[in-house]
Amino acid sequence: MREAFHDQLDGIFADLSEICGQVEVAVREATKALMTGDVHTAEQVIGNDKAIDAARERVDDTAFALLSLQQPVAGDLRIVVSALRMVSELERMGDLSVHVAKIARLRVPSVAVPEELRPTMEKMAATAEDMVRRVRSIIIDRDVEAAIELGRDDEVMDQLRRKSFTELLSTDWHHGVEAAVDIALLGRYYERIADHAVSVANRVVFVVTGEVPAKD
C-alpha cells in the first residue's frame, strides 16, 4: 500500500514537470507572437492554455484524493501540500503567457514592442523562459542546489525590469500612452513568470529539506 502511495507521489511530480514543459512552450510562443505580430501563434497560446488548466485539475484531484484516502503525515504530507501550491504557481505562469499573447494579438498588424525597446524585452523574455526551463529540471531532479541558485539569479530579471522602466520614462519616449501601457504590462508579466519560477523552486527545496530558503 505504501509503495503504491509513493508511486502516486512520484506521479504527481512527473505531472508537475510536464505542466512546466507546457508553460515553457507557452512563454516561448507568446514571445514569438509578441515580437513578430503573428496572430496565429498568439491564438495558439491562448487556446492551449486550456490544456494547462486541465492538467492542473488532474494534479489537484490526485493530491486531494491522497490527502483524503491516505492521510499522509510528516514528509509525505509536505510533498502533497507543496504539490498543490506548485501546480497553482505553474498554472499562473501559463496565464501570464496568455496575457503576453493577448497584447500581441491586440496590436496586430502592428508589433506591440517599439524597436528601441526590443533588446530589453527580448532579454526579459529569454530570462523568463530560461528560468521556466531550469525549474522543470529542478522538479524532475529535486535539485536543491539548483533551486537555490535560481533564486539568486532572479536579480537578473529585476535589473531588466528596472531598465525597462528607465527606457519607458525617458524624455525620448515618443510612442504614446498605449505603447507605454503595453510595455509596463509586458515587463510585469515576464517579471511575475520569473517570480513564480523561483517560488516553485523554493517549494522543491521545502519538499526535500523541510526548510524554506532564506531570502537575501
| pLDDT band with cut points at 50, 70 and 90 for residue 5 | confident
More confident residue, 154 or 107: 107
User: What are the cell numbers at 216?
Assistant: 537575501
* pLDDT for position 122: 96
Tell me the residue type at 36. T
Please report which helix (H) or strand (E) contains residue 30, including its range.
Answer: helix 2-36
For residues 98-107, give the mean pLDDT: 97
Q: Is the pLDDT of residue 1 over 60?
A: no
Q: What is the pLDDT of residues 74-100, one digit of tens each?
A: 778 888 899 999 999 999 999 999 999
Instruction: Give me the chain's average pLDDT, please.
Output: 92
For residues 61-86, give the mean pLDDT: 86
Q: Is the pLDDT of residue 6 over 80?
A: no
More confident residue, 99 or 168: 99
Domains of the chain: 2-209 (1.20.58.220)
Rounded to whole angstroms, the Cα distance separating 61 from 131 reads 27
* pLDDT for position 114: 93
User: What are the cell numbers at 143?
Assistant: 535539485
Convert 107-173 into a string of H (helix), E (strand) and C (coil): HCCCCCCCHHHHHHHHHHHHHHHHHHHHHHHHHHHCCHHHHHHHHHHHHHHHHHHHHHHHHHCCCCC
Rounded to whole angstroms, the Cα distance separating 119 from 122 reads 5
* pLDDT for position 2: 63
For residues 35-50, give the mean pLDDT: 97
Q: What is the pLDDT of residues 173-214, one digit of tens each?
A: 888 999 999 999 999 999 999 999 999 999 999 999 988 776
